[in-house]
Amino acid sequence: MDLKDGVKTAENKVSAETSNLSLYVRNKENALIDRLESYEDITNIEVGDTGLYRAKTLEREFNIRQLYTKYEGDNPTGTQKDRIAFAQIYDALRREFDVVSLATCGNYGVAMALAANLAGIRCKIFIPEAYHTERIKEMEILNAEIIRLPASYEEVVIKSSELAMQNDWYDANPGGANTPLQISAYSKIANEIVEDLGDAPKYCAAPVSNGTLFAGIYRGFVSLYKRGKTSRIPKMIAASSSRKNPIVQSFKLGLDVCKDLSPEVIKETQYNEPLINWHSFDGDEALYAIRESRGDAFNISDKKLKDMSSLLLKKEGLRILPAATAGLIALLELDAKLDFEPDRFVAVLTARY
């Protein structure tokens, strides 16, 4: 299936400073501690500190006060995936791995390919045979090795993790031993929001797929609150493709653990692919975040994803991948239902288009 699941870019440019630092990192004759410091500099230059914008045009359109969008498209490959990719390559470099491996259907693979290429680490990317995304070209340009397997995404994750263990590769898949590291990397989104706003928002909304991003943002807010840096923890709003994500469906069923969906009910489209799963690898963490924050979860149709993407381009000048708008749509639907009192509200837009 040909899916428009990725960012429209073919270059993934980095700064001249980053290119020079990369040459130093890739040279194994240099001391490891110095190479690590240089790679940390690369991460600080290229990743994070993404824009938080007040969407005044949308405020007028939907009659909501102080609506902010956190634009993860500012990251080098255009999505939030760069945050965990660079964090894990730093970890792989520190532990002196020569190869990193992962399963992907698009965006995550490009992020890992770029991060690994800058560090001089070989990158093996496993992709289901049925998936065809334009971003494969970018992965190959970044020297990643593409390996096709005749299986679903979830099955490819499991198989690639098994191969990583057998061959002593660094396993960068979701739901494994690196989950705490991935959650910590995503928690910085909460830090950046609070740094810009001066406090936590009343609500924070984000798309969910595997649940790692959502759980990370929540954990970031919790940490800030416990340290006395914020006056509250936001209510977390999760959103995904209608009835095609276990996190949303499990929450709506009132479950304490994330229950898998039947693979037969999952139908990919050019709009929903980044959101859907029959198994969410960090679903329990995301479900916990919704429940503990007294948040909510929403099913969003393809039509709404497409329409919001078009509206953001027209009203705010932002080119956002349709799936990346799910959290914003859910936040606006909840406002229409509850009629929020004036406060501050944040929606995370996870990828540019």
Q: What pTM did the predictor assign? A: 0.94
In the chain, count H helices and then E strands.
13, 10
Provide the greatest CA pair distance for the chain: 61
What is the pLDDT at residue 266?
A: 86
User: Where does 16-44+80-171 sit in CATH, by number?
Assistant: 3.40.50.1100
Distance CA 34, CA 46 (A): 19
What is the pLDDT at residue 174?
A: 84
Contact 189, 216 (CB under 8 A): yes
Helices 107-119 and 16-26 cross at an angle (nearest 10°) of 60
Distance CA 187, CA 78 (A): 18
What is the topology classification, in CATH, of domain 48-78+178-349? Rossmann fold (3.40.50)
The residue written with tokens 């989950």 in the block is 179
29: exposed, middle or buried (Cβ count in 10 Å: 0-12, 13-18, 19+): exposed
What is the pLDDT at residue 8?
A: 56
What is the pLDDT at residue 312?
A: 97
What is the pLDDT at residue 6?
A: 60
CATH 3.40.50.1100 positions along the chain are 16-44+80-171, 48-78+178-349
What is the pLDDT at residue 11?
A: 58
Nearest to 76 by CA among 25, 42, 36: 42
What is the pLDDT at residue 4?
A: 46
What is the pLDDT at residue 3?
A: 43
What is the pLDDT at residue 270?
A: 84
CB atoms within 10 A of CB 339: 9
Give the strands of the sheet with 170-171, arranged side by side: 145-149, 122-128, 99-103, 170-171
What is the pLDDT at residue 2?
A: 42
pLDDT in tens, 320-339: 999 999 999 999 999 999 99
Taking 50 as the pLDDT cut, the residues of the chain under it are 1-4, 10
What is the pLDDT at residue 40?
A: 98
- The DSSP code for 132 is B
What is the pLDDT at residue 10?
A: 46
Contact 351, 73 (CB under 8 A): yes
Length of the chain: 353
